Structure 1
Amino acid sequence: MEAIVKQCKKACPFLHNSTTATLSKLSRMPAPAGFASEVSGNVRTNALTTMAQKCPVMGKAIAIQSKSYLRTSARLAKHPTLPLKQAALINNENEARVAAAVMAALQGQTPTTHSTHSKPFDYETLYKSELEKKHQDKSYRYFNNINRLAKQFPKAHTANLQEEVTVWCSNDYLGMGRNPLVLESMQKTMNKYGAGAGGTRNIAGNCNLHLQLETELADLHHKPAALVFSSCYVANDATLSTLASKLPGCVIFSDASNHASMIQGIKHSGAKKMIFKHNDLQDLETKLQSVDIHIPKIIAFESVYSMSGSVGQIEEICNLAKKYGAITFLDEVHAVGMYGPRGAGVAEHLDFDLNACYPHGNNGGILDKVDIISGTLGKAFGVVGGYIAGSAALIDMIRSYAPGFIFTTSLPPV
């Protein structure tokens, strides 16, 4: 019977989760009024048997046990002088019959659950199988150990402190991450405010430094407002997914060479997407013409495409957006800090002289035509973080709805 009890505990959530003390207590509690009449013979009933009878597994076993008890009692009553050894055999026979009934009920009626599978899923084998695919297609990555030296830009040492290399592949294009003025400012800020933000922007992680930075970024891109994220990957993903999910029936037109962060944001939005050929204005316009002008549309593209180095046709795309009732989302990640009189990116650079004379916007230039701009602080600016800039209402909506902004610790004060 011990094996049956173990099997029952595996199959029955109640038995599995109940302690011995709980079961013992229930066995001593009287059965509810009127229940005893439902049990055949003189089988003693209590709260535990009451509950068991309602169970699809144990209920059948108890019914069989009751009938077996009556048959055994009748046989022993006919032979009151039956030897003890023979009487024990009858009881064992009865017990075996009950055991068979329980096992049959377990096999036939217990739903297949995690507790009835023959063995658990082999997670480690799956991990290794996926890694093997990476090795087979030659896409498995090995990390370099590169330790950039602040006072010897662009030098770095490897895992061997004595081995120096020159780093030509860093995103810190201008070496701002080791600029003495930057380091001095960061040290002063850290001494005053500490190294960490202390929470999310919605709770304790919002400080005056965040607000000042957002004001400067908004002004840099000729926009009323800006919002800082932990990275531009998060900024693109959170903004596109939130914005497109809020626009009813939105269709997103995405350049074929867009960054993975934009692709993920489009995917997470659940909106319909139409991919146009890279930098192909004719293909983009053909696709725009296929969607009614009253339907919300987003054209997502980049200024500098990192994989090819090609430059997006910003002004022409903005003109198409206006013609077909779309808004533009321009990723300037690889251009901010590098192009334009103030480093706002390619959109600013295209009207270099105009923006040099009128640096704060509303000058009718291309930069003013772009609806939403995303950028990073982790490349030419040399530190970490990402951001978007756009209208005040748009920024406030993203701030209020985007999980990627709401539920993450904000950037540290430094």
Structure 2
Amino acid sequence: METLARHSVKLCPFMQRASSSAKDVQLLRNFNMRAIAQECPVVGKAMRKRTVGNSGAARTYATASAARVTPDPASDSAVDSVIDHSTQESSFDFEGLFESDIEKKRLDNSYRYFNNINRLAREFPMAHRQLEDDKVTVWCSNDYLALSKNEEIVSVMKKTLDKYGAGSGGTRNIAGHNRHAMKLEAEIAALHKKEGALVFSSCFVANDAVLSLLGQKIKDLVIFSDELNHASMIVGIKHANTTKHIFRHNDLNHLEEMLQMYPKSTPKLIAFESVYSMSGSVSDIAKICDLADKYGALTFLDEVHAVGLYGPHGAGVAEHCDFEAHRLHGISSVKGYKTVMDRVDMITGTLGKSFGTVGGYVAASRKLIDWCRSYAPGFIFTTTLPPAVMAGAAEAIRFQRRHLELRQQQQKHTTYVKEGFEDLGIPVIPNPSHIVPVLIGNAELAKQASDLLMENHRIYVQAINFPTVARGTERLRITPTPGHTDDLSDILLDAVDDVFNRLQLPRVRDWETQGGILGVGEKNFIEEENLWTEEQLRLTNKSLNPNVKDPVIDQLEVSSGILV
């Protein structure tokens, strides 16, 4: 206010004259601009002016508050009093806004319908709908290895539930820190061969918490994000409230152009995924690490759709990059050189997909984990996962680590389905991973295709529409598991072929006439080789290092706090 007064003296002729008197100098010191303004021949006249309405009552000026205030003795009480609007206007139409926004989603066919799907533990991959005898085959679950139904894992969870109860008792700081949390974080750190790990309520929360914390705590941090990154990463980067750049999907030349804009001393972070779940595309982790080294950047890798499915022990694509070295060393770190997994600074993952339970995590250096544990609100103020969930997740990691055949079966069944669609001319967006995205290209037709599969063929595949994917690229996302054997796959292939015929959906030849899209029907498109080689698929569980069978893993000091 004092600054405002001084500027007014410089600019306003009245203020220049008024400030010369002792009275007005005192007013300036008291910052009573209202009293000074009343003396002004222009502003004072406007303030004293009354406008009389039809009722004959004087119009007054309202403030942000609806409460009445005591009139200033130096002014007209009618001017200084505040109108009580509570009885003179209608309330904002919240329900109308909600209805309007929902109607927009219905009109553009992006409105979401949830199917009542109850997956049966003893009849995987079957589920029932509202009625228990109304059964369908599930083809779109992210329970990639069907470990949510695994008897050994379920048994561990039942025993833990009976002994320790349903809930954790609070946040880790209050009452939720226990042996189950410590064991789970030790298993995660060992899986990714990192010094530490931290468990969150979900990987959405983990990504948001870690990315936002990095941006808020590291001054002048610049974040470089792949344009197809998951919503959790986008939200985290937004909450980081720092400079960001979006590079074209998997375009490392574009990424380097952006990195070159800043000195090496500027703190930087490259955020990306290993497997992009809606397209199945895979990032070149090693080359991104090369760029990070060259330009002084941290790397943040989301392995949510890769853990359990890649690498000899299910640590993800980063482990798969050095498959043979990790297979030979087993649970031990690779000696002699830094693997791709070593080079990645932060790896986030989920417990809710391949590991069959729920929750998320970040694995990194001991110092970084301790920093997140100490500062991240998304961790500090969230109730800990229940003991039974954490015990089940830890057992799932141990189980899949020594069962290489689960990953191999999943890959073989995926290949069978992809090749079957290719023979039928069904458009599948090409990729080297386990995702089977069947291109529809229209939101309304994608919904109709999903409905027909359900009602006519007892097959559940959810339609994927905007904003999960771009408009015009709507699809059916199919995810085979070890339980989707060839006989079930044949039924799926016939059913999808029938739906394409009924709805006259465009096949590969139709996309070719339009010039192609996303690798479907595109001339001269070069498809990537599958991540799993034929040699890797021929290995057996006996090919793994014996140290993965039942390893003793020490608890992490950082899980409880580092003593000094």
Do both proteins adopt the same fold according to a TM-score greater than 0.5, normalized to the shorter chain?
A: yes
Question: Which aligned pairs between 1:49-88 and structure 2 lie closer than 5 A?
Answer: 55-56=70-71
Measure the CA separation in 2 of the matches of 1:307 and 1:340. 21
Tell me, yes or no, if the aligned pair for 1:251 and 1:296 is still in contact at 8 Å.
Answer: yes
- Structure 1 equivalent of residue 348 of structure 2: 374
- The 5 A counterparts of 1:5-404 are 13=67, 55-56=70-71, 105=78, 108-111=79-82, 115=86, 118-359=89-330, 360-363=332-335, 364-404=338-378
Q: What is the CA–CA distance in structure 1 between the aligned matches of 2:356 and 2:85, rounded to whole Å? A: 50
Shift of 1:110: 3.1
- DSSP 3-state at the match of 2:172: coil
1:143 to partner: Cα distance: 0.7
Secondary structure of the 1:249 match is coil
The one-letter code matched in structure 1 to 2:333 is G
Measure how far apart 1:162 and its partner are.
1.4
Structure 2 distance, partners of 1:229, 1:382, is 16
Runs (5+) with no aligned partner, structure 2: 1-56, 58-64, 389-564
What SS does the corresponding residue of 1:145 show, helix, strand or coil? coil
Q: Distance in 2 between matches of 1:311 and 1:361?
A: 24
Query: Within 1, Cα distance between the matches of 2:70 and 2:276?
Result: 64
TM-score, with length taken from structure 1: 0.74
Shift in Å, 1:137: 1.3
TM-superposed CA distance for 1:114, in Å, is 5.6
> Cα–Cα, structure 1 residues 110 and 138, in superposed 2: closer, same or farther, change >3 Å?
farther
Structure 1 equivalent of residue 507 of structure 2? none
Please, what is the CA RMSD of the aligned residues? 2.1
Count of matched residue positions in the alignment of Structure 1 and Structure 2 = 322
C-alpha deviation, 1:185, in angstroms: 0.5
- For residue 321 of structure 1, report the CA deviation from its aligned partner: 0.1
Shift of 1:206: 0.9
CA distance in 2, matches of 1:405, 1:270: 19
Separation in 2, partners of 1:115, 1:402: 41
CA distance in 1, matches of 2:345, 2:187: 17
Distance 1:379 1:12 in 2: 52
**Aligned mates of 2:66, 2:99 — CA distance in 1:** 35
* Aligned mates of 1:117, 1:340 — CA distance in 2: 68
One-letter code aligned to 2:123: Q
The separation in 2 between residues aligned to 1:143 and 1:253, in whole angstroms, is 34
- 8 A contact 1:241–1:268 mirrored in 2: yes
Structure 2 residue aligned with 1:411: 385
**C-alpha distance after superposition, 1:361-411 (max 9, x if no partner):** 254211111000000000000110000000111111111111111111110
Residues 222 and 362, structure 1, Cα contact 8 Å, conserved in 2: no
What's the % identity of the aligned pairs?
A: 58
Aligned to 1:73: none
State the AA in 2 paired with 1:56: P
- Say which SS state the counterpart of residue 244 (structure 2) adopts: strand
Give SS of 1:254's match: strand
Which structure 1 residue ranges, 5 or more long, are not aligned? 5-10, 15-53, 64-100
Larger-gyration structure (1/2): 1
Could you say if the C-alpha distance between residues 162 and 329 of structure 1 is closer, same or farther in structure 2, counting changes exceeding 3 Å?
Answer: same
Q: Is the CA contact (8 Å cut-off) linking 1:197 and 1:205 kept in structure 2?
A: yes
- Checking the alignment, whether the CA contact within 8 Å between 2:66 and 2:83 is kept in structure 1 is no
Shift of 1:412: 0.4
Contact in 2 for aligned 1:362/1:368 (Cα 8 Å): no
CA apart distance, 1:358: 1.9
Q: Which amino acid aligns with 2:118?
A: N
